[in-house]
Amino acid sequence: MFVWNTKFNTIQHGQPKSSLRFERDHFEDTMVKRKGGASRDLRMAKRPKQQHQHCRLNRQQHPQTQLYALQDLILVLGDGDFTFSRGLVTHRGGGANLYATSFDTAAQVRKVYSNANECIATLGRTGAQVFHGIDATKLHTLPASIPQLFDFIIFNFPHSGHQRVHINRVLLLDFFESARGKLALKGEVHITLKTKPPYSNWNVEDQAKANGFVLKERRPFRIDIFPGYHHRTTDPTAKTFEPAQCITYVYVVDRSRVRCNDACFV
């Protein structure tokens, strides 16, 4: 392996690098022509560009993450200031078939979150629909204008507002019971939680299993694919939000335990 002397642009005996390259290329062309082959210029033109190959490889190795599509019917629950739903619109490329909800009333949302009006207006312009006062544990009471079945039900960082572990376990238990009857045949529940206590003590998998759900996937929470999302918390002791310590659990209904279109769940 040669080491170039960049100061003098030379290798070996001080001969200029450009001169060596010219002599080598001239020699190669002469030998190739004697054998009836193509010249170096023609061979170089046929040679694939390494830079373009490298770019294609990078695109294949790092495909853009697309979790939700425009045709998917999506219900978002407990979106405090609606920044998640706004980021979801950007991720999907539009607001069609998106139903964004808050537990608080419209007046409470606007009082607590100064940016709520802007987010709600953006959602409206993109075709998404916004509803307030929606209880994630009582989805059978959804307004008639909302579809009855969804491809995805998203519930990020559910919290009862109380710090007692058993109260939040009941919240998750009741949510899964309520969500079960609102999923399409291949529908999924996406619930995101922090991985540290007290959240890890809520036993989300037990609450899901008790209501006929099975875990399909556990993946890191990708906050970067929802531009502008700001996590809002009901926990007064919460410190800096750390997305790296959050997990999205993907659940589907165990249809082997469901009979009579969910009316005879056993």
Give pLDDT, residue 64: 57
> Phi and psi for 194 in degrees, rounded to 5?
-75, 150
Where does the pLDDT of residue 244 fall: very low under 50, low under 70, confident under 90, or very high at 90 and above? Answer: confident
Residue given tokens 């078939």 in the structure block: 97
Distance CA 89, CA 128 (A): 8
Q: Where are the alpha helices (DSSP H) in the chain?
A: 17-34, 40-46, 50-61, 83-92, 106-112, 116-126, 165-180, 204-209
Tell me the Cα Rg of the chain. Answer: 29
Which two three-digit tokens encode residue 256? 């082997």
Start-end of CATH 3.40.50.150 domains in the chain: 74-262
Interatomic CA distance for residues 190 and 67, integer angstroms:
11
As a dihedral over the C-alpha atoms of residue 141, residue 144, residue 150, residue 154, rounded to 10 degrees, the angle is: -50
74-262 has which CATH code?
3.40.50.150
What pairing do the DSSP bridges indicate for beta strands 183-194 and 246-253?
antiparallel
Q: Give tens-digit pLDDT for 13-69.
A: 444 444 444 445 554 555 545 555 555 454 444 444 433 333 332 333 334 588 999
* CA proximity to 103, closest of 66, 139, 49, 146: 139
**Pick from 225, 226, 220: which is nearest to 63 by CA?**
225
Q: pLDDT per residue over 116-136, tens digit each?
A: 999 999 999 999 999 999 999
Q: For position 53, what pLDDT does the model report?
A: 38
Q: What is the widest separation between alpha-carbon atoms in the chain?
A: 90
